[in-house]
Each structure stands twice: as structure tokens, then as C-alpha cells.
Structure 1
């Protein structure tokens, strides 16, 4: 599977706040937050669904991966989305292992699996 997605009983703000806390525990920071609804409405488009994209990064892990293979930079930073799906808040991400598999690099797959497990752990704690 390409993605990992869960539902939470928290509202959007609570989900993002708890996600950021758990990410900090794993030494990941949110380096950018993109509010798709806000941006599309700013451009005059009719879009009313809450949908936020968080770009997250652990600098030490990014350095380690890029030192191994610079092509991995195409997949950085990691993205986690928090969105409303018919009244239910969902949190998800593309799996780092799915993305890195495109490079066909065994060592990077091991790095990606570690990152993936840590990010899934953060997401699961938000449920």
C-alpha cells in the first residue's frame, strides 16, 4: 500500500496539536503547514473541505539519507495530511518505503522503514 491513514475522534486543531507533540518526541519538526482550503479560496475557487498538509523533517535523518543518496531529496520533507472526510478527521501520509522503493536502493529502504515506523507511531498516538 502506498499510504497510511487513520481516523481520529479529535477535531482538526486537536489532531494537529497532538501530532506536533508526538513528532517532537521523535525529533521531527513541522517546517511548513499548507492550508489547502485557505489557498484555494484565496484563488477564488469553491473548496470547503478542511485539508492541511504538514511537511515534517528530522534534520539528522535527512542528512543521513541525503549522504547515502541525493536522489532521496526528491521525497523530502515527509508529508502528513490532516483532513475532514465527511465529518471525520483523518490523518495520513504516503509511506516513505513506497516512495524510496522507486530508487531501488536497499540501504535507503532500511532508512525509510525506520522513518515510516516512527511516523506511524506518532500518527497512531493521535487516535
Structure 2
């Protein structure tokens, strides 16, 4: 089972992060956290991570969808599709989100299906906006 939804962009890393933030915002997702994995590992592990590619995790949240999911199952916070990864992948930049259907598949809770479907539509629209913007450039 695939658990990710991924697009690849032919743009530099910083531009990809900025465009990802904008695309998520257009779909009602705010960025609550940002973790620079590359910098964190370099700081904590020193030389062990010196060759790691640019890698950022954006903690995105759509409050309405999160509320609906949490009303269904308080433990679902463990599986909310909140992390958006932007990372260098060779000479391209990958943007990845957790497939919201994973919430339903792992819990077996059909009551989560409408939330997962709406989250999928919104996240797919954000990913499509990234590739469309790149095609226009």
C-alpha cells in the first residue's frame, strides 16, 4: 500500500518550499511548524549528517478537517495527514504528503472516510497547483 502522494518539481529548494506553503494555504492549510531536518541533524549529529540533502517537514493543518477527524476518533491525531515533506531528490525537489486514505485503512473507521476524501481533494489540488505553476514558468 502506498502511503504518500508525491510530485517532483524542477525548481530550487527554497522556491519549492515557498510555493508549497502558498499552495497549501490556497486549500485552507496553515503551517503550524517547520522542521529543517538537514540543519537539525547537522547540529545534533555533527558530521554524521553532513551529506544529507535539503529536507524540511512542514506541519500543515486544516482546522476544519482536523476537528471533524478528532470528533470521530480522539486518537486519530497520530495519523492526521499533517506532515508535508519538501526535499531534494537528485536534481529535482520532491513534495510529499501522507495519503489521507491511510487514516481509514489503518483504523478501519468508515466514519473517517468523508474527512479523508476531502483532505485528499484539497491536498491533490495543492500538489496539482505546484506542477501547474511549474509548467507555466
Contact 1:78 1:96 in 2 (8 A): no
Counterpart Cα distance in 2 of 1:112 and 1:104 = 12
Aligned to 2:18: 17
| Alignment match, 1:32 | 33
Unpaired runs of 5+ in structure 2? 132-137
Query: d(CA) in 2 for partners of 1:21 and 1:97?
Result: 23
Q: CA RMSD in A?
A: 1.4
- Separation in structure 2 between the aligned mates of residue 89 and residue 120 of structure 1, nearest angstrom: 17
**CA deviation after TM superposition for structure 1 residue 77, in Å:** 5.7
TM-aligned CA deviation for residue 97 of structure 1 = 0.6
* Paired residues, number: 127
Residue 116, structure 1, aligned to residue 117, structure 2: no
TM-score, normalised relative to structure 1: 0.91
**What is the deviation of 1:41?**
0.4
| Deviation (angstroms), 1:76 | 3.1
Shift of 1:36: 0.7
**Runs of 4 or more consecutive aligned structure 1 residues displaced over 6 Å after TM superposition:** none
| 2:82 pairs with 1:81 | no
Q: CA deviation at 1:117?
A: 1.8
What runs of 5+ residues in structure 1 fail to find an aligned partner?
Answer: none
